[in-house]
Amino acid sequence: MLKRTTEVEDLLRRHAPQVLGALVRRYGHFGAAEDAVQEALLAAARQWPDQGVPDNPRGWLIKVASRRLVDQLRADDARRRREEEAALLTPRDAFTAPPPGEGRAPSDDDTLTLLFLCCHPLLGPPAQVALTLRAVGGLTTAEIARAHLVPEATMAQRISRAKAKIKGVSFLPPRPENRDGRLAVVLQVLYLIFNEGYTATSGEALHRADLAREAIRLTRAVRRLLPADGAVTGLLALMLLTEARSAARTGPHGELIPLDEQDRTRWDRAAIAEGTALVEEALSQGPAGAYQLQAAIAALHDEAADGGSTDWPQILALYDLLVRRAPEPMAELGRAVAFAMVHGPLAGLGELTALEDRLKGHYRLHAVRAHLLEKAGDIEGARAAYRLAARGTLSRPEAHYLQTRAARLPS
């Protein structure tokens, strides 16, 4: 029964954005449509484990959600005209399964359109991430609130405000002349979601597998629709190659294990093979951007048999390209590490000096400095930097790791 329930949950999560997209496309009313979809998902979660999954689960969900939405519209006299117009616009075969081999409803297009809607320029980044997780990722408001360490009521208000801002926005893909800019925002949001899942910025757990998997699933959906886009392919490759190491990143008590100390036999070789193939494909799809270059760096790490055999000169060359094409402080911090691995810790410390103003005391800057000071033999400097970094992070596993490194240094 538990396995069947889990399978149903996975099925519902996969269909949820498609059903929501179908309702918003036909009726509008983003907020009301989402409420109706949630009721349909709840009904399915109660019925399907015992009664079995319908032959056309997506059609079943659309039918039930549409009935809920129409009932809600009927209850509001002020919206009676809109309800009648929506009914007239509904195709006669909307709730029937298409013939074998035919895909009547553009569910993938609806998913992508929904992603673009959730990442609308009217919304700020926090609202874009929250609304994407809620409407497309299928996470509950409580789950999103826990991921961001805010009260559920606060997150509900943030999502509600986001819905209000995009109320009335047409449920249509962006025009070709606007698509590239909007696509960049979609990919950025998906990358933010993945990063929060892979290394949680706060809380007790280092890794939130649900967020990381959801970001990968959504990126796969975007790539199915835009298979020739190098940035999309590169982002998917980067996620797969990074997530492939997740099983080896923590010890038996949840403690962080750095890359050079991980048991690489625990890495997901199938994901690495897929990610490496995608890197090669992404690099052939036009000029390499930030995602393609970061994916290529991740591939070099994953292909090394151990830390000592990592091709650091090649990684440094890729970082040089990355910071020239997409200047960003964290990329420059990664380059400083690669520079140190090629030219020595003192040279790496010199590179960090140039990042002081841009990173403004970020805990990762302190952590890298501590590591390089330790390698250079400055034990007291390293201890102080490790402790400073530990005080700067809200992640318990990261703080514990940094405090442990400081404590292990000789007196």
**pLDDT tens profile 331-356:** 999 999 999 999 999 999 999 998 98
Q: Is 272 exposed, middle or buried (0-12, 13-18, 19+ CB in 10 A)?
A: buried
**If you average pLDDT over residues 392-400, what whole number do you get?**
91
48: three-class secondary structure by DSSP? helix
**If you average pLDDT over residues 106-134, what whole number do you get?**
82
DSSP state of 226: -
pLDDT at 284: 93
Tell me how far CA of residue 372 lies from CA of 14, 51, 89, 349, 381, in angstroms: 45, 60, 65, 7, 10
Instruction: Report pTM.
Output: 0.76
Half-sphere exposure of 198 (CA within 13 A, CB side): 18
| pLDDT of 82 above 60 | no
| Residue whose tokens read 């609806």 | 110
Phi, psi of 16 (to 5 degrees): -55, -50
pLDDT at 7: 73
Tokens read off for 69: 């939405």
The residue type at 396: R
Q: How many CB atoms lie within 10 A of CB 12?
A: 20
**pLDDT tens profile 165-213:** 988 888 887 777 777 778 888 898 899 889 888 887 777 778 888 888 8
pLDDT at 76: 60
**pLDDT tens profile 365-380:** 999 999 999 999 999 9
Tell me how far CA of residue 389 lies from CA of 346, 371, 385, in angstroms: 19, 11, 6
59 compared with 336, residue with greater pLDDT: 336
Domains of the chain with bracketed CATH = 227-310 (no CATH), 328-410 (1.25.40)
| pLDDT of 294 above 90 | yes
| pLDDT of 240 above 90 | yes
**If you average pLDDT over residues 48-70, what whole number do you get?**
87
Complete DSSP assignment for 349-378:
HHHHHTTHHHHTT-HHHHHHHHHHHHHHT-
Mean of all residue pLDDT scores within the chain: 85
**pLDDT tens profile 242-286:** 999 999 999 988 889 999 999 999 999 999 999 999 999 999 998
Residue of 236, 327, 329, 243 lying closest to 290 (CA atoms): 327
Residue of 210, 278, 279, 281 lying closest to 246 (CA atoms): 210
Complete DSSP assignment for 290-320:
HHHHHHHHHHHHHH-SSGGG--HHHHHHHHH
Least confident span in 61-70, 176-185, 308-317, 329-338: 176-185
pLDDT band at 95 (very low <50, low <70, confident <90, very high): very low
pLDDT at 102: 39
17 compared with 322, residue with greater pLDDT: 322
pLDDT at 79: 47
pLDDT at 257: 95
Instruction: Report the C-alpha dihedral over residues 386, 391, 395, 397, rounded to 10 degrees.
Output: 40
